[in-house]
Structure 1
């Protein structure tokens, strides 16, 4: 026997109830912070009655909250505590290490993790070194470096806000047009390559890492002694580096 809208009349299983509750919670977003029962039912494909029962249950646990003076709902206060616990475990330093180790093992080269600070400067915040005798080693972890130099810096700068890019270009008279064109290529290609640009004898490829907002929050790089690789070898590595970056982005909450 089925209801008029095709849903099973019998009480849904525990797993099905969880699936439906998750569907309701994910109907909320920054663009849609307040949603009514009818809209939730339409978004999830559930009947209005089923939606109302699930919303009431979620509200009783603090996962949803009825907006004062309205029949609509917003996400509830209990999610704040859960989000803080999640944030602690979704931080770059916690999530990056196993991904960086995997990438090091796949390439047998040194892997670096880089961020852009407010200056803006590029900072290398972590590395997993190659096990080869001749290898790239970051001896200046945390030190500020020019954001326009090296593959990781170009990836971060290419995806920075326009005013940040303009400020950097303004500091480089005579090179601003060339750099602007290079950053546009990095955005189009999805990666950057450095051939002994910042450190003599070292070449590198870098790709962006995105967080739960979709913003580029870091760059992941593979650095190699120039005697072992050139442009062709770096380009050949990009699918593997991108795979690692996609894994790390997913760990940070990014969804394609």
Structure 2
């Protein structure tokens, strides 16, 4: 039980920090220690101590020549990251559903983080009883394994690509080493064709197709994929789906402000 004390104290500190930050609002953008203590039922010394810690992390800021505080600049970056992801998922819903209805197969949305890792952030499942279902929503996966990651990697900046190519490249199925030169050539082919295929490359019995989604700057910010059991699709079937998948990606890109030149 004694081992649980530090954990409980850490959780309590987080709860108190959230309570303090929640005092700030559009109606109350600035607040002093006494006011925050009154609103949170915490002591002034506790509030002051937590405010100093939050300020050190840029989450709150003490106003110049004042003892009052306001929310800090670091929250802007965090909010922008959350807004971008939520906007992407919300906007993608109709295009993903339409693509699922057209193909009958599972459609998913993926992003590449700074790790770099590929993460699945949303899916619309197949109408078939036997179907691909992503059970690892949000979990990091190596970007060189599978069609969605390769699409994101193919259109990523050169520095990030080289970081991955210098890493420990292994097959998700056999764990065999992957030749960086071969992967480099494959990424070039993906950029030229505008889509990537995966034939039981990451999950046995599952094949897939992925296409890029662009934002208003033209940068690829996500990948849209169609996945199916291998017994229902092969290379020919996946290639036949590519134009419709690209159309869905273009529709989503258009909503994100992308305009074809």
TM-score band by shorter chain is 0.5 to 0.7
Gaps of at least 5 residues in structure 2 are: 1-79, 170-176
121, 125, 132: which is aligned to 2:121?
125
Partner of 1:77: none
Determine whether 1:134 maps to 2:130. Answer: yes
CA distance, structure 1, for counterparts of residue 226 and residue 95 of structure 2: 12
Instruction: Please list, as runs of the form range in 1=range in 2, the aligned pairs for 1:93-242 lying within 5 A after superposition.
Output: 93-171=89-167, 172=169, 175-242=179-246
Partner of 1:250: 254
Q: Secondary structure at the match of 2:246?
A: helix
Partner of 1:47: none
Closer, same or farther in 2 for the Cα pair 1:185/1:140, shift >3 Å? same
Give 1:176 deviation, angstroms: 0.6
Q: CA RMSD in A?
A: 1.7
CA distance, structure 1, for counterparts of residue 138 and residue 195 of structure 2: 22
Give 1:114 deviation, angstroms: 0.2
Closer, same or farther in 2 for the Cα pair 1:164/1:109, shift >3 Å? same
CA distance, structure 2, for counterparts of residue 217 and residue 99 of structure 1: 16
- TM-score w.r.t. the length of structure 2 is 0.63
Q: Secondary structure at the match of 1:91?
A: helix
CA distance, structure 1, for counterparts of residue 202 and residue 159 of structure 2: 24
Give 1:88 deviation, angstroms: 7.2
1:33-75 CA-partner distances (Å, limit 9, x unpaired): xxxxxxxxxxxxxxxxxxxxxxxxxxxxxxxxxxxxxxxxxxx
CA distance, structure 2, for counterparts of residue 239 and residue 119 of structure 1: 31
Query: Could you tell me whether the CA contact under 8 Å between 1:90 and 1:252 is conserved in 2?
Result: no
Query: Could you tell me whether the CA contact under 8 Å between 1:89 and 1:95 is conserved in 2?
Result: no
Closer, same or farther in 2 for the Cα pair 1:159/1:88, shift >3 Å? closer
Give 1:131 deviation, angstroms: 1.3
Q: Which runs of 4+ in 1 moved over 3 A?
A: 87-90
Q: Secondary structure at the match of 2:134?
A: coil
Partner of 2:15: none
Give 1:240 deviation, angstroms: 0.4
- TM-score w.r.t. the length of structure 1 is 0.65
Q: Secondary structure at the match of 2:207?
A: strand
Give 1:90 deviation, angstroms: 8.3
Q: Secondary structure at the match of 1:145?
A: coil
Partner of 1:5: none
Give 1:126 deviation, angstroms: 0.2
Give 1:109 deviation, angstroms: 0.3
CA distance, structure 1, for counterparts of residue 197 and residue 85 of structure 2: 31
Count of residues paired in the alignment: 171
CA distance, structure 2, for counterparts of residue 225 and residue 104 of structure 1: 14
